[in-house]
Structure formats: structure tokens, C-alpha cells
């Protein structure tokens, strides 16, 4: 019996507000065989029917490693992955990444040293290949976090805050004309429960304590790429080039 083809996993790591979710979704739209999975979205969906989980998420603390691990593996099962792939969509110029095997971007996993160690227990069909760290200063990410908005009508994600300082050039990310025409921004735009000054401070501390050691683990295995997105989404061509170059230089079996 032929062995099942492996799914290649690319982890995105960054401080809250570093933009990794936005970059991950945009990357996935460029490639036919690249799917985007936001671990935060998975947990927030599960929290709708789990009050204990909801309280943890809104506190700024990290969810239990085992719970996160199980949620991610479940989302990567074949049927759920196909559903995610359909939701991600591709633009009309989408091409094939690497050797044509399925690739998944994991936004927000692994986020702790314990979660990193759990990767060794994953099914052999899932292959953690590399991590991309988005290196953004604290003051930049705080500004962007406080500006995040989501439209309850069209589902669009926006950011009303822009950044223009010390070489960083990130204009506000505003909605398309379709949203402008059918959505009342004063009524329909929502902030996440954890995008408050106090919780942001807590989340930044958690990142330093829990997630920075994860970077060391990836680096020690020569599977860490650091990317500085000075111009935000205008850096997508450069980011895609970094990803393609990595797979060009590293043969994954």
C-alpha cells in the first residue's frame, strides 16, 4: 500500500498585532496548494460553546497546551482541511508552491515550548517544515492592535490605525467599496474582546515568557526565518519570495 502524502506545515510566529494572520491569509491566496489555518479563530469558534475557554481567551492568557494541540490536529484532518481550503480561496493567478504537495500555514501554533514538543507526537502525515517570525517592535503592534476592527455584516477584517515612523509604513487597512455601501461602520464594526490596553499588556508579557523560547527551538533546528514587514501588506511579494526560496533550497521528504 502506498504511503499517504505528507502535508507540509509552515508556522507563523509573532507578537499579537504583528500581522501574521493577515500575511498568512494573503500568502494562502497566492498558491493552489497552500491553506491558511488560524488557531485563534478555531479556539474562538470553540469558545462559543465553552464558557471556560471564552474566559481564558478574553483574559489574554494562553489556553491549555493539550486543548490547543487537539483542536489543531482535528482541524488538519482531511475533511476539515478540505473545508478550510474551500474557505481560503485563491486569486486568479494562484500557482503551485514547492513540489505540489499540500501545505498549511499555522497561524498561532506552536506558541509554547510544550506545544513545540507535542509536534513530535503528531501523525507522520503532518510535517512541520519551518517557522516564519514576524519581527515587529512593541509600539507598532500596540498601535495596530488598538485599531483592529471586524465587520459583523460582511465579515471583513480592517485596521483603522496607520503607522508611519522609523522606516515603518503601514497605512490603515480600510474596507472595499462593497462594505462601505452596505455596512454601517459605527454600528457594524466590532473590536475583539481582548483588544484592550490592559489585556494587550498581558498578552505581550505572555509572548515574551512563553513564545520567545519557541523561536530558539526552531532556530536550533535551522528552520526559522525572520521577516521584518516594514511596509505591511505591501511586502507580500518579498514575503512570498522568502518562502519560495526556502523550499527551493531545502528538499523535504
Q: Is 89 left (phi over 0), alpha (psi -120 to 50) or beta?
A: left
For residues 108-114, average pLDDT: 91
Least confidently predicted of 15-24, 83-92, 133-142, 220-229:
83-92
Q: 8: which 3 cell numbers?
A: 507540509
18 φ/ψ angles, rounded to the nearest 5 degrees: -75, -10
Task: Tell me what the mean pLDDT of segment 177-185 comes to.
Answer: 68
Pick from 58, 53, 62: nearest CA to 198? 58
Q: Return the pLDDT at 4.
A: 66
Question: What pLDDT digit, counting tens, does each position of 26-54 carry?
Answer: 999 999 999 999 988 888 888 888 888 88
Q: If we measure between CA atoms, which residue out of 85, 108, 73 comes closest to residue 34?
A: 85
pLDDT reading at 83 higher than 70: no
pLDDT digits (tens, 9 = 90+) for 158-178: 888 999 999 999 998 887 666
pLDDT of residue 122: 92
* pLDDT level of residue 79 (50, 70, 90 thresholds): low
Give the helix, strand, coil percentages of the chain, each rounded to 5: 45, 20, 35
pLDDT band for position 184 (cuts 50, 70, 90): confident
First-last CA distance in the chain: 18
Cα Dmax for the chain: 58
Rounded to a whole number of angstroms, the CA Rg of the chain reads 18
Distance CA 40, CA 109 (A): 9
| For residue 151, pLDDT beyond 90 | no
Query: Cβ distance 204 to 58 under 8 Å?
Result: no
% of the chain at pLDDT higher than 90: 45
State the pLDDT at residue 253: 43
Q: Residues 189-223: pLDDT tens digits?
A: 888 888 888 889 888 998 999 988 899 999 999 99
pLDDT at 130: 95
pLDDT band at 105; cut points 50, 70, 90 = very high
CB atoms inside a 10 Å sphere around CB 102 = 21
pLDDT score recorded for residue 81: 67
Predicted pLDDT of residue 11: 96
Measured CA to CA, the distance from residue 129 to residue 10 in angstroms comes to 6
Indicate whether 1 pLDDT > 50: no
Percent of the chain at pLDDT > 70 equals 87
Is the pLDDT at 2 greater than 60? The verdict is no
Amino acid at each position: 500500500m502506498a504511503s499517504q502524502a505528507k502535508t507540509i506545515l509552515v508556522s507563523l510566529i509573532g507578537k499579537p498585532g504583528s500581522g501574521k494572520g493577515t500575511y498568512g491569509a494573503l500568502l494562502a491566496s497566492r498558491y493552489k496548494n497552500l491553506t491558511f489555518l488560524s488557531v485563534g479563530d478555531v479556539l474562538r469558534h470553540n469558545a462559543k460553546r465553552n464558557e471556560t475557554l471564552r474566559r481564558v481567551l478574553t483574559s489574554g492568557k494562553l489556553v491549555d497546551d493539550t486543548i490547543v494541540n487537539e483542536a489543531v490536529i482535528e482541524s488538519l484532518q482531511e475533511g476539515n482541511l478540505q473545508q478550510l481550503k474551500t474557505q481560503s480561496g485563491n486569486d486568479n493567478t494562484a500557482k503551485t508552491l514547492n513540489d505540489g504537495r499540500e501545505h498549511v500555514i499555522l497561524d498561532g501554533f506552536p506558541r509554547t515550548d510544550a506545544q513545540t514538543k507535542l509536534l513530535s507526537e503528531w501523525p507522520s502525515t503532518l510535517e512541520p517544515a519551518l517557522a516564519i517570525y514576524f519581527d515587529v517592535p512593541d509600539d507598532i503592534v500596540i498601535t495596530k492592535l488598538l485599531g483592529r476592527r471586524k465587520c459583523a455584516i460582511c465579515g471583513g477584517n480592517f485596521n483603522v490605525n496607520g503607522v508611519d515612523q522609523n522606516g515603518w509604513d503601514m497605512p490603515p487597512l480600510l474596507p472595499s467599496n462593497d462594505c462601505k455601501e452596505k455596512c454601517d461602520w459605527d454600528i457594524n464594526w466590532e473590536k475583539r474582546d481582548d483588544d484592550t490596553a490592559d489585556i494587550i499588556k498581558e498578552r505581550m508579557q505572555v509572548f515574551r515568557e512563553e513564545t520567545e523560547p519557541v523561536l530558539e527551538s526552531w532556530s536550533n533546528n535551522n528552520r526559522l526565518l525572520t521577516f521584518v514587514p516594514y511596509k505591511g501588506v505591501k511586502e507580500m511579494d518579498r514575503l512570498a519570495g522568502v518562502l519560495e526560496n526556502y523550499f527551493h533550497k531545502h528538499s523535504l521528504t
